[in-house]
Amino acid sequence: MDPYFATSDPCWLRPEDARALLERDVDVRGDRGCAATVRREVALLRALTGLEPVAGRGRVVLATLAELGGEGRDDVVGRVPHGLVAEGYAVVPDGDDLVVTALDDRGLLHGFYALQRHGERLLGVDRPVLDVPTNPVRMINQWDNMRADGPMGSVERGYAGSSIFYADGRVVADRARIRDYARLLASVGINALSLNNVNVHRDESRLLTEHLGDVADLAAILREFGIAAYLSVNFAAPIELGGLATADPLDPDVAAWWRRTTDAVYAAIPDFGGYVVKADSENRPGPFSYGRDHADGANVLADALAPHGGVVFWRCFVYDHLQDWRDRSTDRARAAYDHFTPLDGRFADNVVLQVKNGPMDFQVREPVSPLIGALERTNVAVEFQVTQEYTGHQKHVCYLVPQWREVLDFPTRGDDGATVREIAAGRTFGRPLSGVCAVSNVGDDRTWTGHPLAQANLYGFGRLAWDPTLDADVVLDEWLALTFPGAGEVQAALREIMAGSWLTYERYTAPLGVGWMVTPGSHYGPSVDGYEYTAWGTYHFADRDGVGVDRTVATGTGFTGQFHEPWASVYEDVTTCPTELALFCHHLPYGHLLRDGSTVIQHIYDTHFAGVEEVEAMVARWEGVAHLVAAEVSEEISRRMAEQLRSAREWRDQVNTYFWRKSGVPDARGRTIH
């Protein structure tokens, strides 16, 4: 029998979650592709739970529209709501049967997982239901390396142990854990996975060549779950692997090398997804070395992939990381827009520009990247970070779905009302190859995510990728019900703890959108001036009079002018700029009165005291229910919450003390500042 989560937590796929489904007779019609997977999953869940169909509970039939037509069930086909697309599914009650149907076998798989997730609520529907993915691309990016100091591969910005994919410079031999991961991802609708870090080192470059057989094996596992495999590639691979003297994208030998190499990949993996590329970014090679631009760079790969239907995800995280902190005119926040907007329309149709959600780097608060609304003739995928690099390293509870919802809902085009989610879905400019990507938060820890509650972020990303209009609280409730089944008190407590935890984290860390203030390198814990005099372009410019970055057009770096109206004006004017972005867009005196009525300095003090009080309340709330949760899990959560509280106090004290010493302005409420 398939070892279903033999060495790890089943997260939101606990066999008992499938009880309502397994009590029905489940009849899967096809036996190809993902339909075969559904059959196997049902058999496996029956074997694990011992649950068999209960007389009188009816039957669930999973069949494609073509199969239903072949059986003469045209009445059912006729009742499928309008709008079914590839990968989507419809649920149609038909007498004693509940029919799950789709255009393709991947749709049946998603329908199956929806029945498992929603149980009786979906199994008991009395009218047809349609559920289709909004985003064509729903991708997870692994930042996994093939080597580390120890035997297992490491994960860049990973907080949950080592890689589940690599050990000793090779793909792991035991792939059971990878199969479980594919299950988890497919169950929330993910359809693409890039298998290695975007920082491609020597070993990972060879995934394209000497490790290709292993990559093909991984792709076969993913295929069973409707997920396409991608590789991050090294732009200098023609030199490193091919022995050429150059990686110049306009050199015919370079183009021929990429074509040959890509042909070999497709010979091994006919449905290979394509490449993810980080170029000219943080010391990675790229087209700039040859005086070429990023359209030249992306298109040479796109040309190699095009005959096979493959796609290039080209990252826009391109900025000068060797900046001079004395130079106040260079603004890292401007970089992606400045590099890529002039190239709009020059990328091949099978290139997707992968744009981080904000203009800096996954801070707890940033404006939406203005580049997302600027590209009209280019495919775009918005990149999020599920791994908690800047949001507490999975030691802190930080439920990120509300942040992602805010980004997705932002009407970045202002004038014509298009939101980030509409642009990501490819609807605004008719781009069929758009969507969302996210950096994974998993490792080989038994819990997958280190902090058991961080599982909610992976679950939530998948659910939003499928349907970006889902309410963050509804997603949280789904996850809680599946993860702590039958434990109402625990669910209620965790709902209170998690729902607002992103805003709590924001309160006790860097204030008013200014970002950073983290320990350089690790990015964990406070270091207010840690990046202030470095080359990374991540400054707050605090002095005795004020703090913040003047990014206005009138007197600053001009970043605010990269937005469409009304946002350009809203951010430009300090009286209309949202409070939470006040210091991202403006350098303000400590006595400046914010829109919420408090001064900058008092706001810093108040939010930092409040943030810690909120963490204290979270810990107390958790302690009230911890005994209701299995010891192994509850002890892990308690340990991490204790660290969160310690760290939050450290943040509060360092930030408050720093600004009290700089400004000399005391806290209006006389609380302790050191």
> Is there binding between residue 156 and ligand GCV (CB under 6 A)?
yes
For residue 430, the 8-state DSSP code is: T
Shortest gap between Cβ of 214 and ligand GCV (angstroms)? 22
The dihedrals phi and psi of 416, each to the nearest 5 degrees, come to: -100, 5
Beta bridge mates, 25 = 59
361 is catalytic: yes
Shortest gap between Cβ of 311 and ligand GCV (angstroms)? 19
For residue 244, the 8-state DSSP code is: -
The dihedrals phi and psi of 667, each to the nearest 5 degrees, come to: -65, 130
Q: Which of 109, 198, 442, 514 binds ligand GCV (CB under 6 A)?
A: 198
214 to 233, contacts with ligand GCV by CB under 6 A?
none
> Is there binding between residue 527 and ligand GCV (CB under 6 A)?
no
389 is catalytic: yes
Shortest gap between Cβ of 139 and ligand GCV (angstroms)? 14
Under 8 Å CB-to-CB from 348, ≥6 apart: which residues? Answer: 298, 299, 302, 303, 306, 312
- Give 277 or 568: the residue with its C-beta nearer to ligand GCV: 277
Please tell me whether residue 136 adopts helix, strand or coil conformation. coil
Shortest gap between Cβ of 23 and ligand GCV (angstroms)? 46
> Is there binding between residue 313 and ligand GCV (CB under 6 A)?
no
Q: Which of 199, 246, 569, 579 binds ligand GCV (CB under 6 A)?
A: 199
Which of 130, 121, 114, 115 minimizes the C-alpha distance to 80?
130
> Is there binding between residue 143 and ligand GCV (CB under 6 A)?
yes
Compose the 4-33 pattern: x for residues touching ligand GCV by CB under 6 A, - for all others. ------------------------------
565 is catalytic: no
> Is there binding between residue 278 and ligand GCV (CB under 6 A)?
yes
- Give 107 or 286: the residue with its C-beta nearer to ligand GCV: 286
Q: Is the peptide bond before 566 cis (omega within 30 degrees of 0)?
A: yes
Please tell me whether residue 321 adopts helix, strand or coil conformation. coil
> Is there binding between residue 332 and ligand GCV (CB under 6 A)?
no
Shortest gap between Cβ of 142 and ligand GCV (angstroms)? 11
C-alpha to C-alpha distance for 372 and 420, rounded to whole angstroms? 7
Shortest gap between Cβ of 157 and ligand GCV (angstroms)? 5
Shortest gap between Cβ of 19 and ligand GCV (angstroms)? 41
Under 8 Å CB-to-CB from 631, ≥6 apart: which residues? Answer: none
Give the CA angle between residues 515, 521, 524 to the nearest 5°: 60
Reading the block at residue 284, the tokens are 């990675």
> Is there binding between residue 159 and ligand GCV (CB under 6 A)?
no
> Is there binding between residue 361 and ligand GCV (CB under 6 A)?
yes
> Is there binding between residue 393 and ligand GCV (CB under 6 A)?
no
* Residue in 67, 87, 293, 389 annotated catalytic: 389
Q: Per 3-state DSSP, what percentage of the chain is helix, strand, and coil (rounded to 5)? A: 40, 10, 45
Determine contact, residues 414/560, Cβ cutoff 8 Å.
no
> Is there binding between residue 317 and ligand GCV (CB under 6 A)?
yes
The sign of the CA dihedral 145, 147, 153, 155 is: negative
- Give 282 or 623: the residue with its C-beta nearer to ligand GCV: 282
- Give 142 or 419: the residue with its C-beta nearer to ligand GCV: 142
Determine contact, residues 618/504, Cβ cutoff 8 Å.
yes
Q: Which of 157, 332, 339, 395 binds ligand GCV (CB under 6 A)?
A: 157
Reading the block at residue 643, the tokens are 């660290």
- Give 449 or 552: the residue with its C-beta nearer to ligand GCV: 449
Reading the block at residue 348, the tokens are 């091949």
# residues contacting ligand GCV (CB under 6 A): 9
Where does 164-279 show beta strands of DSSP type E?
A: 166-167, 170-171, 192-194, 228-233, 274-277
- Give 20 or 316: the residue with its C-beta nearer to ligand GCV: 316
Beta bridge mates, 26 = 60
Positions in the binding site for ligand GCV (CB under 6 A): 143, 156-157, 198-199, 278, 282, 317, 361
Residues assigned a catalytic role: 282, 361, 389
